[in-house]
Structure 1
């Protein structure tokens, strides 16, 4: 039985203008990269775009220097998986009245990605509902909460999330769910 092709999505946030060699290496094999804000300058996006297509959102420390392709929210569909990306955690928390990142009638995302806290987070099941996952890749620069600098990786295929993990830039897995990456 031939296995369906899989897509590797690199997750990064809070680079604040500094993208280390280790962070670039952690994202080097990604097929698509999501940056959840506080980019810190066009140079960071250019470096990421040299690796793979990038979906990015503005953080509270970003200015409108990226053009119309980078806004407050993004709703990419990557290999059939629906994402909602925003910088603030509150903008991806979907309640009874929806959330800031969704318009009335928008489909519920399977994965919500945020930054801002500089602390890695991986919620699934009832903690993530109505989405399947809520992910913060932590911070690639200036981590908080005793965590190291880190990035995330997600494996998706044909509309399904196969696995997600967040690892330090040294490669130590901090949070993980699903298939190994």
Structure 2
């Protein structure tokens, strides 16, 4: 079993509560607008971190951070991009996928600063589309938040969005 911390839109600020929310995870996914290499180094000190560039990021992270990422974590295929439109997969595919790429089970995006967990027809052909919200300048009336996912042997066991004070805002599959 692997616990994945989901975070996005830190914009160079990692509140202590967001750091604490990531402290016990096995892997971290940052969906862009990192805001500087220091944030990435701090997260990488906690757990292996997959990150993508956001519209406020510059190519200051080297080859390891690009526009899209396709990690496979505990057998679960992910697509990570900053923009929601880049993780939506239509009949013509997606800018984030090449011909022949396997369909991701989980798509993670940022940019909106609004948390969401989509499943079913809204997420298809993926099983889940997740935005962890933002620990900095949240929008849509939501509090500052991060996400957490538990996966095992190619299956998603649960997806949760939590406020930085630990309140569960959304949850699927608990």
TM-score (norm 1): 0.95
Q: Gapped runs of 5+ residues in structure 2?
A: none
1:106 aligns with 2:95: no
Partner of 2:60: 65
**1:132-162 alpha-carbon deviations (Å, 9 max, x no partner):** 0000000111101111110000000000000
1:126 to partner: Cα distance: 1.3
Q: For residue 40 of structure 1, what is the aligned residue in structure 2?
A: 35
Classify the secondary structure of the residue corresponding to 1:174: strand
Q: Is residue 5 of structure 2 the alignment partner of residue 10 of structure 1?
A: yes
- 1:85 corresponds in structure 2 to 80
Matches within 5 A, 1:22-37: 22-37=17-32
SS class of match (1:156): strand
- Counterpart for residue 55 of structure 1: 50
The superposition leaves residues 70-123 of structure 1 with CA deviations (integer Å, 9 ceiling, x where unpaired) of 000000000000000000000000000001111111000000000000000100
Cα deviation code 1:22-70 (max 9, x no counterpart): 0000111110000000000000001100100000000000000000000
* Coordinate RMSD, CA, aligned: 0.4
Q: The residue matched to 1:22 in structure 2 has which SS?
A: helix
Report the count of equivalent residues. 174
Q: 1:154 aligns with which of 142, 149, 155?
A: 149
What runs of 5+ residues in structure 1 fail to find an aligned partner? 1-5
> Deviating runs (4+, > 4 A) in structure 1?
none
SS at 2:28 equivalent? strand
Output aligned runs, 1:115-154, within 5 Å.
Answer: 115-154=110-149
1:154 alignment partner, SS class:
strand
TM-score for both structures, normalised by structure 2: 0.99
